[in-house]
Structure 1
Amino acid sequence: MYTIPGHHHISMITKNAKSNNHYYREVLGLRRVKLTVNQDDTSMYHLFYGDKTGSPGTELSFFEIPLVGRTHRGTNAITKIGLIVPSEESLVYWQQRLTSFGVEQSEITMYAGRPALLFEDSEGLRMALIASPNTKVAHWETYEGSPVPTEHQIQGMGTVEITVKNMHKLKATLSEIFGYSVATETATTTLMQSIDNELFGEIYIIEQDGISEKPGRGSIHHLAIRVKNEEELIYWNEQVKKRGFMSSGIVDRFYFKSLYFRESNGILFEIATDGPGFLIDGNIETLGEQLDLPDFLEPKRAEITAKLKPIE
């Protein structure tokens, strides 16, 4: 039986790729591992940030939509991204670093049972830096070019918060299809893990009634969870359909293969393979420095680049 080893990536909406690029590289110290376009709308930048190679589980991805409005917050949405840091000392470092860039933040607090620092990016995307000294993120690679010292660098995605009207439906989907287990539970929250006691596959569900979120800049489009290869992806495609959900079918995204489905509250999930990865059309030294296009878009490079504003 196959299992889910954790998160693969998470995708958000940004209004301005240039300022987004500055924030995630210069403030958070991540590497831009891929500068490409949305394969479904090539007039739109698609930016990926992560560790040295953009390992699965470290990738934050953004679609640029220049005309997008603000997010109207509500329920039935992915509402916060946890990012793993190595220690509570790292949280102190990040307090000082975020303050130096004028980023408002909470005091060091507890979030989903662990010490954390809560903040928002320049477009209101809600995030939490979570200290986890006992977590060994084996798939994370140090990025020597980061402005953040190695001992405090972000080590990938941790707890992802999802707010829904019906917690039990989402809980059932995660447990009965994908084998997530319940770590802690209250009347209105459930903390679930794909790997016991590990943040990099953790989903924190909050039950909240009210109006559904209207997405905009700084909102989260979807969460992608990891599978090893296409064989496993085929298996999960069948499980999703057996549960009665509509599947997109398997889509070749060049850097990985994936499928999409919405669970009962309307949350969009992607299931994505680990490979082939971002080095398929790049090299380790210059990864993310130039516009990369999948082979099927390369013949349209001149047409595509004519519609894009330079980021740098």
Structure 2
Amino acid sequence: MTTLTGHHHISMLTKDGKKNHDFYTHILGLRRVKMTVNQDTPTMYHLFYGDLTGSPGTELTFFEMPIAGRTTRGTNAITRIGLFVRSYESLHYWKKRFENHDVQHGEITTYAGKDALHFEDHEGLRMVLLNLNSNEIPAHWQPFENNTIKREHTILGMGTTEITVKSLSSTIDLLTTIFGYTICSQSHTQALLQHEQGNAYGEIKLIEQDGPTERPGRGSIHHLALRIESEEALRELNEQLLAYGLHTSGVIDRYYFHSLYVRDHNHILFEIATDSPGFTVDSSIEELGTRLDLPPFLEPRRKEIEAALTPLD
């Protein structure tokens, strides 16, 4: 069994890249660390937001699909994203900020055993701010400091990710048997799993729910990416997944990382991605996210690709 090391990124659909950029940079105060394209459909933006360098575990990514319709919520889908803030006071800060910016939100409550503030972005993407409660920030995270958000209340990175499925046991089996997760708590219809006991940075909350499968659209979650240490470990994991009886994409070179894709028996799409080489492979830290970056194999098509994209800035 190849043990994973937590969340890498999570990817969603947006109808409008400019409005998406405005919400995640101006309201949430994240840094746009990479403006690139979907490598399989290069006329589509792929936008990455995160900490100073887009460290693994901090990245929210979006594919721009102007034809995207509404999401019809249902089961067999990734249904909520948890984001850590430093303190209970930070939740009050964000509640006030959401009120001032007309962001849909609830009251301060609890979620997965943590103080929490639920909210949605402008397209209905469901998220929840979670109180880190003075626990240590992962050493590789580099909080992005800007003039938009007070430093002590900056969004730090990904926490609990919620997945809703028709069969709880089948996704639990994949996470524990192949991905090396540990069950922290379980009931008849829910389970909380961690990649490392006591570490909520790679936490997954599973909810069993029957009914229609979610129909994706703007504000829906496309896949959850999990971290792995190296390309060698990724290839070993690929063999384990095939032996387990699942189909995979095989290892793909995404230039900024190597990855593979696999769907579990509930049709949840997981990506497994390496940390290296990272977003600074073609950009300085200071210039991250300021221009359209393309992997080398797409660079000869730059004029054609740029002509198909609407400028965001």
Query: TM-score w.r.t. structure 2 length?
Result: 0.98
Write the mapping of 1:191-206 to structure 2, written as runs, cut at 5 A. 191-206=192-207
Q: Cα distance, 1:135 vs. partner? A: 4.1
Q: Cα distance, 1:21 vs. partner? A: 0.2
Q: Which amino acid aligns with 2:83?
A: L
Q: Cα distance, 1:110 vs. partner? A: 0.6
Write the mapping of 1:97-116 to structure 2, written as runs, cut at 5 A. 97-116=97-116
1:62 maps onto 2:59 in alignment: no
- Do the aligned partners of 1:53 and 1:141 also contact (CA within 8 Å) in 2? yes
- Do the aligned partners of 1:91 and 1:117 also contact (CA within 8 Å) in 2? yes
Q: Which amino acid aligns with 1:55?
A: S
- Do the aligned partners of 2:70 and 2:218 also contact (CA within 8 Å) in 1? yes
**Alpha-carbon distance between aligned partners in 2 of 1:7 and 1:293, rounded to the nearest angstrom:** 24
Using the aligned pairs only, state the percent identity. 57
Give 1:18's aligned residue: 18
Give the ranges of 4+ consecutive aligned residues of structure 1 lying more than 2 Å apart after TM superposition.
Answer: none
Q: Cα distance, 1:12 vs. partner? A: 0.1
- Do the aligned partners of 1:74 and 1:211 also contact (CA within 8 Å) in 2? yes
**Alpha-carbon distance between aligned partners in 2 of 1:136 and 1:256, rounded to the nearest angstrom:** 23
How many residues are paired up?
312
Where 1:108 maps in the other structure, the secondary structure is: strand
Give 1:75's aligned residue: 75
Segments of structure 1 that go 5 or more residues without pairing to the other structure are: none
Q: Cα distance, 1:103 vs. partner? A: 0.7
Q: Cα distance, 1:146 vs. partner? A: 5.2
- Do the aligned partners of 2:162 and 2:207 also contact (CA within 8 Å) in 1? yes
Deviations 1:230-266 (A, max 9, x none): 0110111111111100010000000000000100000
Q: Which amino acid aligns with 1:7?
A: H
Where 1:225 maps in the other structure, the secondary structure is: strand
Give 1:256's aligned residue: 257
Write the mapping of 1:278-297 to structure 2, written as runs, cut at 5 A. 278-297=279-298
Where 2:115 maps in the other structure, the secondary structure is: strand
- Do the aligned partners of 1:81 and 1:159 also contact (CA within 8 Å) in 2? yes
Write the mapping of 1:120-159 to structure 2, written as runs, cut at 5 A. 120-133=120-133, 134-145=135-146, 147-159=148-160
Give 1:39's aligned residue: 39
Bigger shift: 147-156 or 14-23? 147-156
Q: Which amino acid aligns with 1:43?
A: T
Give 1:53's aligned residue: 53
Segments of structure 2 that go 5 or more residues without pairing to the other structure are: none
Where 1:306 maps in the other structure, the secondary structure is: helix
Give 1:209's aligned residue: 210
Write the mapping of 1:236-251 to structure 2, written as runs, cut at 5 A. 236-251=237-252
**Alpha-carbon distance between aligned partners in 1 of 2:113 and 2:42, rounded to the nearest angstrom:** 41
**Alpha-carbon distance between aligned partners in 1 of 2:136 and 2:70, rounded to the nearest angstrom:** 35
- Do the aligned partners of 1:31 and 1:146 also contact (CA within 8 Å) in 2? no
**Alpha-carbon distance between aligned partners in 2 of 1:240 and 1:270, rounded to the nearest angstrom:** 12
Bigger shift: 126-135 or 10-19? 126-135
Query: TM-score w.r.t. structure 1 length?
Result: 0.98
Q: Aligned in 2, Cα 1:146/1:212: closer, same or farther, shift over 3 Å?
A: farther
Where 1:136 maps in the other structure, the secondary structure is: coil
Q: Which amino acid aligns with 1:195?
A: E
Where 1:157 maps in the other structure, the secondary structure is: strand
Where 2:297 maps in the other structure, the secondary structure is: coil
Give 1:5's aligned residue: 5
Give 1:27's aligned residue: 27
**Alpha-carbon distance between aligned partners in 1 of 2:52 and 2:244, rounded to the nearest angstrom:** 37
Give 1:220's aligned residue: 221
Q: Cα distance, 1:121 vs. partner? A: 0.3
Where 2:42 maps in the other structure, the secondary structure is: strand
- Do the aligned partners of 1:38 and 1:45 also contact (CA within 8 Å) in 2? yes
**Alpha-carbon distance between aligned partners in 2 of 1:48 and 1:204, rounded to the nearest angstrom:** 24
Where 1:107 maps in the other structure, the secondary structure is: strand
Q: Which amino acid aligns with 1:71?
A: T
**Alpha-carbon distance between aligned partners in 2 of 1:4 and 1:221, rounded to the nearest angstrom:** 20
- Do the aligned partners of 1:135 and 1:199 also contact (CA within 8 Å) in 2? no
Q: Cα distance, 1:151 vs. partner? A: 1.2
